[in-house]
Amino acid sequence: MNKTVIKVLYWGTTGLIAVGNLFGAYAYTSQSPQVLEGLAHLGYPGYLALILGPAKGLSALALLYPKFPRLKEWAYAGVTFNVLGAGLSHLLAKDPNFATPFIFLVLVAVSYTTWRKLEADKA
């Protein structure tokens, strides 16, 4: 695959993930009513928003900042666990929007694989 295409895919998917996580960080940390209702619907306590919110914000920053590749690896892992947990929670709660987190997971997979390809090309 052309290196330009890989870069576009990487930055496009990474940008979407980062923006989504930054909005999520704000919504969770500010404990918006929608977030608290959503957590309650899934059977989770409201204080979970105060744990996930900062984690979402930090993951977005780690994904965008190229200086620390090991930190970026951990951010990808954290986002993956978060999205898998969200998808399974929505699925088990019989939420009709259960597919949304899994679509986000595809973005994470594309971002990660294109990042690894770009990193391999540097070596």
Which residues are within 8 A (CB) of 3 and not within 5 positions of it... i.e. 6 or more apart? 118, 121
Q: For residue 95, give the DSSP letter.
A: -
Per-residue model confidence (pLDDT) at position 77: 97
pLDDT category of residue 1 using cuts at 50, 70 and 90: confident
Model's pTM, two decimal places?
0.92
Helices (H), 33-98: 33-42, 48-64, 69-92
Mind listing the pLDDT tens digit for each residue in 92-121? Answer: 999 998 999 999 999 999 999 999 999 998
CA quadruple 69, 71, 77, 82: dihedral positive or negative? negative
Mean pLDDT, residues 54-75: 96
Mean pLDDT, residues 56-68: 95
- The DSSP H or E segment spanning 67 is none
Per-residue model confidence (pLDDT) at position 97: 87
Please state the domain extents for the chain: 3-121
d(CA 52, CA 27) in angstroms, rounded, equals 10
CA quadruple 74, 17, 45, 33: dihedral positive or negative? positive
d(CA 104, CA 80) in angstroms, rounded, equals 9
Mean pLDDT, residues 18-34: 97
Mean pLDDT, residues 43-72: 96
Per-residue model confidence (pLDDT) at position 84: 96
